[in-house]
Amino acid sequence: MAATAATARQRSGWTIANIVAIVLALIPVVWILSLSFKTPASITDPTFFPTHWTWGNYSGILTTSTFIRPLLNSIGIGLIATLIAVVLASMAAYAVARLNFPGKQVLIGVSLLIAMFPPIALATPLFNIERALGLFNTWPGLIIPYVATGLPLGIYTLSAFFREIPWELEKAAKVDGATPAQAFLRVIAPLAAPGMVTTAILVFLFCWNEFLLAITLTATTAARTAPAAMAFFTGNSQFAVPTGSISAAAVVITIPIIIFVLFFQRRIVAGLTAGAVKG
């Protein structure tokens, strides 16, 4: 009896804590969502929820190339950079996890060093270098730095994942008569896949989110990504503060993230904690 009573009290305690955490996490998201539905006239109404609803903000930004193009840039640059980074990181992480060679420590150390760089320190010289090489304001001009800054994250996460794979299974499969290719594809690849998917998600999130390099290494919508474009939005008219448009833009670039997080929550948590847990 006493046990169930205590559990009920515990349950309500945890419930309250859960609700507080969830509400605090969501308030700014709900706010920008509600702003995006407010009519331009009612923007100056500081109510949390819109009093007058409109889809106008969304139709405004989704029909203008000043936002569509950056959105496409974000998607394209993000996907390409993620692909390259994951491939290169997998190779390096495989080597770190399975092979013995001098310089392993140095590689990990150096890549962590790079992850901790203040991006502004890179933006300065890259700006000049890219102008000289004709890469300024181009897709490769952003993809290459993104790959380079995404690699440390990728190598770190993947080597933690790869370390957990029981590599003896490959030998066992060969003993059972599998060819090396079969052993790799049927046994190792399925074990490595979750780690690679997680790493790809983390790297893509990084590229999607990246702001500083995006505003310094681009000048027009030719290569500007969505977050950078938003910061320089002037909206539909010269005189109106484009609160509604920017809010709609913010929601549009947030939706894929929310979907990602909903579907891949377990993977993301596993990926972020894999490196920290020394297993």
Partner 1 sequence: MTTTTPPVTTQELAAKDRRRARSSEGARAERRLGWLLCAPAVIVMIAVTAYPIGYAIFLSLERYVMSAPQLTKFVGLSNYGAILNSPFWWRALWVTAVITAISVAIEFVLGMLLALLMYRTIWGRGTVRTTVLIPYGIVTVAAAFSWLYAWTPSTGYLSAAFGNAAPLTSQWQAIGVIILAEIWKTTPFMALLMMAGLSLVPEDLLKAAKVDGATAWQRFVRVMLPLMKPAILVALLFRTLDAFRIFDNIFILTSGNNGTGSVSILTYDNLFTALNLGLGSALSVLILICVAIIAVVFIKGFGTAAPGTDLGR
What does each C-alpha distance from 132 to 50, 57, 96, 217 come to in angstroms?
49, 39, 36, 12
* Residue 208 is a binding residue for partner 1 (CB under 8 A): yes
Q: Does 217 bind partner 1 (CB under 8 A)?
A: no
Give strand pairing partners of 53.
Answer: 38
Pick the piece of the chain touching partner 1 (CB under 8 A) from 63-71, 166-174, 176-184, 211-219: 211-219
Among 61, 147, 187, 196, binds partner 1 (CB under 8 A): 147
Q: Is 137 in the site for partner 1 (CB under 8 A)?
A: no
Answer yes or no whether residue 68 interacts with partner 1 by CB under 8 A.
no
The least distance separating partner 1 from the CB of residue 122, rounded to whole angstroms, comes to: 6
- Kindly state the smallest distance separating residue 85's Cβ from partner 1, in Å: 9
Residue 210: alpha-carbon gap to chain centroid: 9
Is residue 10 part of the contact set for partner 1 (CB under 8 A)?
yes
Q: Does 155 bind partner 1 (CB under 8 A)?
A: yes
For residues 245 and 61, give the distance between their C-alpha atoms in angstroms, rounded to a whole number: 6
DSSP state for residue 277 in the 8-state scheme: S
Q: Which of 123, 89, 84 is nearest to 108 (CA)?
A: 89
Phi, psi dihedrals of residue 46, rounded to the nearest 5°: -80, 45
Of 173 and 242, nearer to partner 1 (C-beta) is 242
Residues forming a β-bridge with 38: 53
Binding partner 1 (rule: CB under 8 A), the pick from 123, 165, 191, 222 is 123
Residue 143 within binding range of partner 1, rule CB under 8 A: no
d(CA 20, CA 60): 35
Crossing angle, helix 65-98 and helix 243-274, to 10 degrees?
10
Of residues 158 through 187, those in contact with partner 1 by CB under 8 A are 159-160, 163
To the nearest whole angstrom, how small is the minimum distance from the Cβ of residue 64 to partner 1? Answer: 18
Residue 88 or 169: the one with the smaller Cβ distance to partner 1 is: 88
Q: Could you say which residues in the range 238-267 bind partner 1, by CB under 8 A? A: 243, 246-247, 249-251, 253-254, 257-258, 260-262, 265
Measured from the CB atom, the residue of 183 and 253 that comes closer to partner 1 is 253
- Quick check: 158 and 199 in contact, CB under 8 A? yes
Judged by CB under 8 A, how many residues of this single chain contact partner 1?
A: 100
* Cβ atoms of residues 147 and 84 within 8 Å: yes
For residues 181 and 277, which CB has a smaller minimum distance to partner 1 in the complex? 277
Which 48-67 positions form the footprint of partner 1 (CB under 8 A)? 48
Report the 10 Å Cβ neighbour count for 260.
16
Q: What are phi and psi of 53, to 5 degrees?
A: -95, 150
